[in-house]
Amino acid sequence: MQQSPTMVTPATADQPTSRRRRRGILAILLGLTTISLGAGMFSLAIFTDTDASTGTFAAGTIDIESSPTVAFTVTGMVPGDSNTQALTIDNAGTASLRYALSTTATNTLGDTLTLTIKTLGTSCALFDGTSVLAATALDGAVVGNPTQGADAGDRTLAGAASEVLCFRVSLPLATGDSLQNATSSATFTFDAEQTANNP
């Protein structure tokens, strides 16, 4: 069997140049990779530092208390009689407060009895303190105003402070026979609110 002669194409001058170009590009890429890796390793080798501060927070309180719980137990009153008792008003909280007082009293006797309030002064027995409330009907008597904000007559107490007020309840001399043996129950309500950020 006869083979056909194969033709051998002589190498062109471009092949070695092309190989050299590829080698050169490869060398450049390897060099850039090495530089990038070196720069990355170098950038990780820096000094660093960090610090932190902390805080704790607690809300304040206002806590109004009055004592004694039963301020008055009075029997056998006749026209012209009065009874005076000391009430201690405490702010058992940590923040300053302002407070108002409102009174309710039942029955016709509650409308007839009068309430007068003074600061402690020398003593409640002498009843010589500064006037807080002039004589007014026991039922519906008010000092200050329980609505939010500062109002005329509101009283203030700093945190953990207290004050003594003298409450005098009187049966007017002009009271008629229709109230003989009458009774009344009274409630003194103290409403408090913070003073800070509450003009």
Read off the pLDDT of residues 91-117 as tens digits, 9 standing for 90 and up.
Answer: 999 999 999 999 999 999 999 999 999
At residue 31, the pLDDT reads 66
Alpha-carbon gap, residue 50 to 9, rounded angstroms: 71
How does pLDDT run across 18-71, given as a tens digit for each residue? 777 777 776 676 666 655 555 555 556 799 999 999 999 999 999 999 999 999
Give the angle subtended at the CA of 34 by the CAs of 28 and 35, to the nearest 5°. 90
pLDDT at 10 over 60: no
Helix (H, G, I), strand (E, B) or coil at 41: helix
Nearest-angstrom CA–CA distance, 158 and 62: 9
Listed by start position, the domains of the chain span 64-175+182-194
Q: Which position has the token pair 């490869």? A: 26
3-state class of 146 per DSSP? coil
State pLDDT tens for residues 136-194.
Answer: 999 999 999 999 999 999 999 999 999 999 999 999 999 999 999 999 999 999 999 99
| Structure confidence at residue 32 (pLDDT) | 62
Residue type, 90: D
User: What mean pLDDT comes out for the span 73-77?
Assistant: 96
Of 1.10.3210, 2.60.40, 3.40.50, 2.30.30, the CATH number of 64-175+182-194 is 2.60.40
The pLDDT value given to residue 105: 97
Residues 6+ apart with CB under 8 A from 35: none
- C-alpha–C-alpha distance, residues 116 and 122, integer Å: 17
Q: Residues 117, 188: contact at Cβ < 8 Å?
A: no
